[in-house]
Structure 1
Amino acid sequence: MELIDSKTIHPQMEELLCFATSKEKVKIEYHYYLSAPNRMLYGMIIENDIVGCIGIEFVSPSICEIKHIAVNPNSRKRQIGSNMIYFILKKFQIDSIFAETDIDAVDFYASIGFTITSLGEKYPGVERFHCVFSN
């Protein structure tokens, strides 16, 4: 996995971030990754293509939140998402990593050992979940 570090958004990274946030918010979120010292954005590169990305925000030196995680649809079911999470855990020696998500991603997080807690209907008609992994 390589760090995507540029002053302009890479087209493949922009496309991936659209899976994790609205298209309207991509440039704003990317700016946060470039300017906030506690935020980092990583991309998984396979054969010169960015096939996945994970964006994290440290809330303390040993705890971080997954702000964005996305894998290109053509590259899914190849453990890219879980490998990106394991990379972050190992690289930063994280004690705890968490994410807030919707029902579509709950099975993914549960399958790699996250504890899932419903936050209820946080938005009208949309149940949200708090997913936590602790070492």
Structure 2
Amino acid sequence: MKEITLTMVNPTIKKLLSYATLEEKVDGEYKKYTCLPSRKLYSIEVNGDTVSCIGVEFLNAKEAVIKHIAVLPKERGKGIGSSMIRFLCKNYDIHSIFAETDKEAVNFYSKFGFQITSLGEKYPGVKRFLCEFKVQ
């Protein structure tokens, strides 16, 4: 896993981010990773191709929020998403990891061990969930 240095526009990372946020928000979110020191973006390469990314915001020394996590569709189901979360747990001295997600990703977080709390219909017609993981 490598930290991405965002000094220029990386179309592969922007494409991955589009799987994790609305298309119209990709440019703004990408820019936050270049400007905010509390945000870090990591990727995994397979055979020289970037296949996944995880974007994290560190709230403080002990808490982090997964802002974005994305894996190319053809690479899903291979444990890549879980390996990115394990990377965070191993490489940072954090006690809690949070994520807010939709119904589509709840099973992924639940299988990893996150506690899931419904936030209800946060946006019209869209149920959201808070996921929290206590790092051992």
**For 1:96 and 1:73, how far apart are their aligned partners in 2?**
28
2:49 matched to 1:12?
no
Answer whether contact 2:6 2:33 (CA < 8 A) is retained: no
- How many equivalent pairs are there? 135
Structure 1 CA distance for aligned equivalents of residues 89 and 116 of structure 2: 18
2:29 aligned with 1:29: yes
What is the letter of the counterpart of residue 46 of structure 2? I
Matched, 1:67 2:35: no
> Deviation of residue 118 (structure 1)?
0.2
% identical equivalent positions: 50
Whether the aligned pair in 2 keeps the contact of 1:9 and 1:27 (CA below 8 Å) is: no
- TM-score (norm. length: structure 1): 0.97
Match for residue 48 of structure 1? Answer: 48
CA offset at residue 6 of structure 1?
A: 2.7
Unmatched tracts of structure 2, length 5 or more: none
Q: Report the counterpart of residue 119 of structure 2 in structure 1.
A: 119
Q: TM-score, normalised by structure 2?
A: 0.96
Alpha-carbon contact 1:118-1:129 (below 8 Å) kept: yes
Letter aligned with residue 20 of structure 1: A
> What SS is found at the alignment partner of 1:41?
strand
Partner of 2:106: 106
Structure 1 segments of 4 or more deviating over 3 A? none
SS in 2 for 1:45: strand
| 1:12–1:50 CA contact under 8 A, matched in 2 | yes
**What are the ranges of 5 or more consecutive residues in structure 1 without an aligned counterpart?**
none
- Give the superposition deviation at 1:26: 1.2
Q: Provide the secondary structure at the position in 2 that maps to 1:77.
A: coil
Write the distance in 1 (CA, Å) between the matches of 2:84 and 2:63: 16
Q: Distance in 2 between matches of 1:122 and 1:23?
A: 19
Quote how far apart the aligned CAs of 1:9 are: 2.3
- 2:76 alignment counterpart: 76
Q: Do residues 128 (structure 1) and 128 (structure 2) align?
A: yes
Pairwise CA distance, 1:83:
0.4
